Chains A and B, each alone.
Chain A
């Protein structure tokens, strides 16, 4: 068995290995927490990465903000998460009223998926984020029912709904909260096959180290922060 072989070799190697001494300290070093409002810090960090954001008072204003963007972009069809998993109700109806097609994509893993190039037809996608991180301008999105992975990936513009109460100062503070409240399983348990931490638009510097945005993922990321 390959497993036994690898483990036996490793155990034998460790018995002979000489590794430098280094003590683990508790707690582990953590970079500083942003000062002032987490919302403002989040916006600032995101902007520095080339993302954009706006603050709205409540879910009704959030719905309005989404519609305004879609009209400005002249988007005829939008890819997104199921309304049921997002913090803003009534979105799907509001889009339908404007004649905008809203599609929650399903892509089967079996052989019967057929041609999926229709994914390229959507100029805009809409999801929410479960968590925002102020120090790094990061959005945390989990996969799961009603939350297809492609909805945050394939369109050139990604609009994200983020409740202000879900913004944490640092990744460490967020993880500390998950530990203390026994909620680690909500993000790293059996139900979540993949989560993605998004910090700004897709970028590359592979040609002469010059920055280019939007190489595979979204070129623009816009976050609508909902205050209440």
Chain B
């Protein structure tokens, strides 16, 4: 899947999002609800930080032993009669799944929500081959009707208001325009039920893959995931290689944190655990099962020193806590993973054109504090920023900073610059800060003030203060710092 935007598109999208009143209300709702729910659940949990440290250790342990755990997982799935395909990238994964569909003359496919499938653009690949693909999570179903991408990894349609959905269902499903959520849900339920019963293939993701037992774990609330891996005769699960964990104990530990952090639930309504196809004596269930293990850039970012982001358990807590996400929403980020985790993942998985995303952060650290596996997102964002600016061509701004670095690291230069700087400030007729500078400095002052240089330098003041003794040391030394 190609990224949908260039650098200038990103800014345009941010402007459009900021101007969207409906979006603003939806996002306020999100911050008020989801982030508060998580905070409350965490507060009730005794020693939540011990739990988080354990979860972090479990995920890092899984990463360090990825190859051996993946091989154990594969052996278990094969022993139960399942098929395993190792996909190097999105193209390989899509081709394999399409092949499987063709081999079984599949026409209709039902899917449960899978960010990994969004990442590889699976729906598009299958639809281009003439297959019918239906998203069955209520939020994803709404978005598929609307022709929109998900904007949140847990609550995909969170940017839409009920009025948008009422209009959409009226136009696409021919039902009366109603704001009754029960009716809207019932309409989706009956339409999707029909498709569950007819589909020849079901595609799911998984939240975790337990190597020890060859078990895939999928947590859901609606039950659509259960239909998808129970009714169609053919089941394909697509899983990023980083989802593998060692043991059932590790699974239980992570399940203590994932729902609490995602939706504020103790546990989701359903946890589906499955391993391979239905057994010969089973009365129902898919007769054939395929597991697709996906790399798609994960090993590359591991090699480049960004492995920590692979411990992410996709709870969405970082976006719920992020002041930037709450202002601009998920669509502005331009790809399937929004918010802080997306600002790290997108430039790493989509190597082109996303270098601006790491700058869409205030580095306030709210994401790190909200992360159940303690990923140091600000540090990763900073690292991506420095990489992005190193790769940038020489600009006036960089030249300015270069000059500044030269001056600031040499006491003699610094001292002289302070003197001349103050004189220059006086000549320019400045008060305490430059609010609107002439070009080319105007590009700086569009976003922030440029401080003027004080009459007396701090080091000068300090020496004077020491010499004059206590009687003159009261009060705030004027001019040693400028506002902003």
Contact = CB atoms under 8 A, between A and B. Distances in A.
Interface of A: 2-3, 5-7, 9-14, 16-20, 22-25, 28-29, 31-32, 45, 49, 104-107, 109-111, 113, 115-117, 119-120, 135-136, 138, 143-150, 153, 171-172, 175, 184, 188-210, 212, 214-218
A72 B282 CA distance: 32
B57 A23 contact: yes
A198 B270 CA distance: 5
Contact of A153 (B230, B276, B283): B230
B70 A7 contact: yes
Given A17-B303, A23-B57, A202 B283 contact: no
Contacts of A215: 138, 185, 188-189, 222-224
18 contacts: A6-B295, A14-B67, A24-B54, A31-B256, A109-B288, A117-B197, A148-B283, A188-B213, A188-B215, A190-B79, A193-B279, A202-B221, A203-B269, A204-B221, A205-B263, A206-B137, A206-B155, A207-B184
A104 B222 contact: no
B7 interface: no
Interface in B286-300: 286-288, 293, 295, 299-300
Given A19-B63, A28-B54, A138-B267, A109 B286 contact: yes
Interface in B277-315: 277-279, 281-288, 293, 295, 299-300, 302-303, 305, 307-308
Contact of A11 (B67, B139, B193, B284): B67
Given A206-B138, A212-B185, A24 B57 contact: yes
Given A17-B63, A149-B226, 8 more contacts: A19-B60, A24-B58, A25-B53, A29-B47, A143-B284, A145-B281, A202-B221, A207-B185
Interface string B171-196: 00000000001101100110011100
Most buried by B among A9, A117, A216: A216
Interface stretch (B26-34, B395-403, B434-442, B444-452): B26-34
A175 B51 CA distance: 18
Contacts of B58: 24, 28
Interface residues of B, number: 107
A193 B34 contact: no
B308 A110 contact: no
B144 interface: no
Interface stretch (B116-124, B247-255, B336-344): B247-255
Contacts of B157: 206-207
B414 interface: no
Interface string B17-59: 0000000001001100110000000000111001101101110
A28 B253 contact: yes
Nearest to B137: A206
Interface in B72-88: 74, 79-80, 85-88
Nearest to B301: A13
Contacts of A13: 299-300, 302-303, 307
Given A207-B157, A207-B181, A150 B299 contact: no
Given A6-B88, A148-B284, A216-B222, A193 B275 contact: yes
Interface stretch (B158-166, B361-369, B425-433, B464-472): B158-166
Given A171-B252, A206-B139, A212 B182 contact: yes
Given A24-B54, A28-B54, A193 B276 contact: yes
B330 interface: no
B276 A204 contact: no
A206 B26 CA distance: 12
A32 B449 CA distance: 53
A218 B328 CA distance: 36
Given A2-B92, A19-B64, A217-B226, A207 B162 contact: yes
A116 to B, nearest CB: 5
B355 interface: no
Contact of A208 (B53, B162, B279): B162
- Ranked nearest first, the 5 interchain pairs of A and B with the lowest CB-CB distance are A217-B223, A109-B287, A206-B139, A13-B303, A216-B223
B205 interface: no
B241 A107 contact: no
Contacts of A200: 269
A32 B51 CA distance: 12
B227 to A, nearest CB: 6
B287 to A, nearest CB: 3
Most buried by B among A19, A116, A188, A201: A19
B284 A149 contact: yes
B316 interface: no
Contacts of B184: 207
B372 interface: no
Given A14-B64, A207-B157, A208-B162, A145 B252 contact: no
A216 B283 contact: no
A5 B86 CA distance: 9
Given A116-B197, A205-B263, A197 B270 contact: yes
B354 to A, nearest CB: 21
Nearest to B289: A193
B456 interface: no
Given A206-B137, A215-B222, A216-B224, A17 B271 contact: no
Interface in B329-359: none
A144 B281 contact: yes
Nearest to B300: A13
Given A6-B241, A17-B302, A104-B283, A205 B155 contact: yes
B253 A136 contact: no
Most buried by A among B71, B74, B223, B286: B223
Contact of B267 (A172, A194, A199): A199
B113 to A, nearest CB: 10
